[in-house]
Amino acid sequence: DIQMTQSPSSLSASVGDRVTITCRASQGITNYLAWFQQKPGKAPRSLIYAASRLHSGVPSKFSGSGSGTDFTLIISSLQPEDFATYYCQQYYNYPPTFGPGTKVDIK
Amino acid sequence: QVQLQESGPRLVKPSQTLSLTCTVSGGSISSGTYYWSWIRQPAGKGLEWIGRIYTSGSTNYNPSLRSRVTLSVDTSRNQFFLKLTSVTAADTAVYYCATGGLDGTTDYWGQGTLVTVSS
């Protein structure tokens, strides 16, 4: 299985901050990388697929980049509704695997 | 927009079979443009992909669960199903059904259902 790692595992930020989360795959996955947002007690929400493409309805403050093994999710200006846990996932080969998550909370 | 809803027993005894149904609305399960997946999440932990099924019935399973998992689909009811045999406490989790494109993306999620394995 392809192993996914994320850093940091958690971060504290303020409203208006620019937040960067990184994700690394144990082998190259081209751009078969997705990002999900999950709030406590809720199902994950799909944010980004193909490393940089926003799902329908996802605001442009979210952006993704990267290819190969290293990827980044950026939230340009953190808002109260963005405090959540963020997961990356590779779907390059089976089984699809998720990173351990990055929890973003309020400073 | 496609919506998904999980249903099934919330409590399963050890060694028995966990059975869940996912009902799809807002789209046809037989459209041929989506895969239909199951993903689980133990309390306080990360996400684990269980498997997916296509309209034709073809399946892909996580090797870690393959010996115990069966996915099936009923296009007439717009539903797909998960069966997990010989469950233990380690199978206690929130189970999500989800759907995504043929390229492997996961686009829409159900709200999830907590299944507890306990005697």
Q: What is the pLDDT of residues A11-36, one digit of tens each?
A: 999 999 999 999 999 999 999 999 99
Residue among B72, B74, B92 nearest B82 (CA): B72
Is the Cβ–Cβ distance between A45 and A38 less than 8 Å?
A: yes
Determine the residue of chain B that is closest to A92 in CA distance. B104
Pairing label, strands A102-106, A10-13 = parallel
Q: How far is it, in rounded angstroms, from Cα A57 to Cα A37?
A: 13
- Cβ of A101 within 8 Å of Cβ of B109? The answer is no
* Binary contact (A45, B60; C-beta < 8 A): no
pLDDT for B102 equals 85
The percent of residues above 90 in pLDDT, for chain A, comes to: 97
Residue A44 preceded by cis peptide, ω within 30: no
CA distance A92 to A29: 5
User: Which amino acid is located at B55 in the chain?
Assistant: T
